[in-house]
Amino acid sequence: MRPYERMALGLLLAAVAAPVGAQAVPDTATEAKIGSRVRIMAPSIRRDRFIGRIDSLSDQRVVLDTTGERHRFGFEMGPVLVDEFRRTSVQRSAIERVEISGGRTVRGSTLRGALWGALAGALIVGVGNLPQVNASFDDFLKYAPIGAILGGAVGGVVGYALGGERWLPARLAH
């Protein structure tokens, strides 16, 4: 194996072994108030999470405004045009978990993008450069590391651009 192939394989193995999206959990949960961006899990109502800004809080219900300002690739995603679907009400008794937004994060999405890009690049370049006659695995290994490096770089850039949101444990204010 050539030195650059060993380096590419080592980088790929190190990236796979690294924990993706690991977050430290604080000892005390943050209090979610009116105006906080939250993610609420209430599986008895629906399997999907409710995500939005808290519009109002009462002892029985939490009302979320789901049309927060969101950006993808530098473009603002449009708001929900029908007002009746903009706000949603969730009973407090149905809520199992509340998380508050900790802001934008790019670490996990960049790592995932780099891993998927490296895998796709290695497969595409490795298979694309196989000889038409008597192809062997050694022929694949000859070009796969180059594809892994290029694909990892492109995938990392795409993952960084997409980003994500970091969620921290929270509790609802009274």
Given CATH 2.30.30.100, say whether it is the number of domain 30-102+166-172: yes
pLDDT band at 163 (very low <50, low <70, confident <90, very high): confident
Q: Write the burial class of residue 71 (CB in 10 Å: 0-12 exposed, 13-18 middle, 19+ buried).
A: exposed
**In this structure, how many other beta carbons lie within 10 angstroms of the beta carbon of residue 73?**
9
Mean model confidence pLDDT for the chain? 82
Contacts of 66 (CB under 8 A, 6+ apart): 50, 51, 52, 80, 85, 86, 87, 88
Closest CA to 112 of 159, 154, 161: 159
Q: Where are the domains of the chain?
A: 3-19+107-162, 30-102+166-172
Note the pLDDT of residue 125: 95
Per-residue pLDDT at 82 exceeds 60: yes
pLDDT (tens digit per residue) in 129-162: 999 899 999 999 999 999 999 999 999 999 999 8
pLDDT (tens digit per residue) in 59-71: 899 999 887 666 6
pLDDT (tens digit per residue) in 3-57: 656 655 565 555 555 444 433 434 467 889 999 999 999 999 989 999 989 999 9
Q: How far is CA 170 from CA 14, 22, 71, 99, 147, in A?
A: 33, 18, 24, 5, 43
Note the pLDDT of residue 79: 59
